A = this chain, B = another copy of it.
Amino acid sequence: MQKIRLGMVGGGQGAFIGEVHRIASRIDNRFDLVAGALSSDPTRAAESAVELGISTDRSYANFADMAIAESAREDGIQAVSIVTPNHLHFPVAKVFLEAGIHVICDKPLTSTLEEAVQLTQLSKRKNVHFAVTYNYSAYPMVRQAREMIAAGRLGSIRVIQIEYAQDWLATDLEANGQKQAAWRTDPAKAGAGGSIGDIGTHAFHLSEFISGLRCDSLLADLESFVGKRRLDDNAHILIRYDTGAKGMLWASQVATGKENGLKISIYGAKAGLSWTQENPNYLSFTAISQATQILSRGGPNIGGMASAASRIPAGHPEGFLEGFATLYSDIADLILGKVSIENSLVPTVEDGLRGMQFVDAAVKSNKADSSWVKLVAE
């Protein structure tokens, strides 16, 4: 099968998410990583490239050079993965879009709503795909939940409870120079959202992806509990969906004891379901007046969406990296035209834009004493 020629911006030695993207791109053997601007530090960039088997002439000192050079090559990259801190998503994505190269961008889409709007518009003008790696949507049992809801198994949805709780920022890590903490708590690099941007956007996307509903408005109470932290590390949000359903969303990075506690429960008139990221191969489902069922990835009564996103039999747990890999494979299918954008489950730049609208609305509501704010300003 034809493999996609992939480049990467960011993700040099010591980074976390870059390596995740690389493993994800390899698992299903659909990509070749052939070019990179892996670090703003030239030495680290070069060393990282060697380590990854990228040839010296395709290891670039900066992303703008890379976009120009690669788009000029006959064997240039077809897609670029952007795995930098948030504030660089916009300038990097912009030059690659303009060079006609497909973009795979980590979340949140940008550091400001205005940039997100611009990228969305630019992306529409160019004939390229723009994927945002809301990777949790690619877990098989998440897709199973989406498929069951779309099939009406829950009846009309009433309540959506979602939480994404971590504890790694429960202490003042950024004061001790921890790199991941430093940029994530710096408004100049992360944008206006702390926990709401970093993890809240994942939760927000998931709630819409699974339920098929759209957030109409929200209210937020944001807090910064640790030291002199300038961005929220805890977000309490109420949501009203377009159909009248209601939800709670809790994002926190100070919830001591929570590692990566993403959990969603959806309750409808006919049934309810619940999924938790830390034990992701199972989906709990309860129809009214029936015993709770534990649906298992690869097991009985699993639909097409989950099966397509699954590699190995039930009881052999797939994890975070396989979910991420499914997203990459879906992107490969998009790029190769095997699946149309309408039929693809890959989160798009519009989904990225909604994430930025979510952050923007939450910040506005918080400033307005937690009053209700429309997600999309009218």
Residues of A at under 8 Å CB distance from B? 1, 3, 16, 19-20, 22-23, 26-29, 51-53, 154, 158-159, 161, 163, 166-168, 170-171, 219, 221, 223, 225, 234, 236, 238, 240, 246-248, 250, 252, 254-261, 265, 267-274, 277-281, 284-296, 298-301, 311-322, 369-372
Contact = CB atoms under 8 A, between A and B. Distances in A.
Number of copies of this kind of chain in the complex: 4
Given A257-B284, A320-B316, A321-B318, A27 B26 contact: yes
Given A19-B311, A250-B248, A317-B317, A292 B234 contact: no
Nearest to A51: B1
B284 A53 contact: no
A211 to B, nearest CB: 14
Contacts of A293: 291-294
B238 A370 contact: yes
A314 B255 contact: no
A288 B171 contact: yes
A318, A320, A369, most chain B CB atoms within 10 A: A320
A320 B318 contact: yes
A3 B22 CA distance: 16
Nearest to A369: B372
Contact of A246 (B1, B163, B168, B234): B234
B257 A53 contact: no
Contacts of A255: 159, 265, 267, 272
B167 A296 contact: no
A259 B299 contact: yes
Contacts of A53: 1, 3, 29
A274 B19 CA distance: 31
Nearest to A261: B315
A154 B170 CA distance: 12
Given A161-B250, A257-B267, A167 B288 contact: yes
B254 A317 contact: no
Given A277-B315, A370-B371, 11 more contacts: A26-B29, A170-B267, A170-B288, A256-B288, A260-B315, A280-B317, A291-B299, A292-B294, A318-B319, A369-B371, A369-B372
A247, A267, A279, most chain B CB atoms within 10 A: A267
A176 to B, nearest CB: 13
26 contacts: A16-B313, A26-B27, A27-B321, A29-B53, A154-B256, A158-B223, A159-B252, A170-B267, A170-B269, A219-B370, A225-B269, A236-B238, A248-B248, A256-B267, A257-B272, A257-B285, A259-B315, A260-B316, A290-B301, A291-B296, A291-B299, A291-B300, A291-B301, A319-B321, A369-B371, A370-B372
A294 B296 contact: no
